[in-house]
Amino acid sequence: MKILSRNTVLMFVTFSSLFICNNAFSQKKDQMVRIAEIEIEPAYLDEYKKILKDESEASVRLEPGVIAIFPMFEKENPTQVKILEIYADKASYQAHLKTPHFLVYKNSTLKMVKSLKLVEMDALDVKTMPALFKKYD
């Protein structure tokens, strides 16, 4: 009887762990983290920056599923752009592709983009994400 009860406890712990692990995994599977690596035609750099600035600001402000769109330019070679993009899930990303601000960006910058590479990433730990950024002001 004592052994049985220990087994019951062990089973409970095992199933609880599985449940917790599965939940954590689902969360991570839903989320999309990506770095877009883009090379811009030098003649269009200033114009591209202005369009990208409007698009990234509007996306984060208007779309609940857009967690971050954070554009950066290499100091040594500013035509090399990297954009960190974080979406709550695939549906949020699909919805983003249909927004007016994204379509304006996409269509008006087509001729400015020399190359585009989308690198899908996994964040180290979704649960600690809020601890990895401070509000910057």
Q: Which residues of 101-119 are buried (b: 16+ CB within 10 A; e: fewer)?
A: bbeebeeebeebeeeeeee
90 binds a second copy (CB under 8 A): no
**Taking contact as CB under 8 A, which single stretch among the options 14-22, 39-47, 58-66, 90-98 is the one that binds a second copy?**
58-66
CB closer to a second copy, 2 vs 75: 75
92 binds a second copy (CB under 8 A): no
**Taking contact as CB under 8 A, which single stretch among the options 17-25, 38-46, 61-69, 107-115 is the one that binds a second copy?**
61-69
CB closer to a second copy, 76 vs 100: 76
8 Å CB contact between 62 and 99: yes
Structure tokens at 5: 């009860």
Number of residues binding to a second copy, judged by CB under 8 A: 42
For 16-62, the DSSP string reads: HHHHHHHHHHHHHHH-EEEEEEEEE-GGGHHHHHHHHHHHHHHHHHH
**Binding footprint of a second copy on the chain (CB under 8 A):** 33, 35, 49, 52-53, 56-57, 60-61, 66-76, 78, 82, 84, 86, 119-126, 128-137
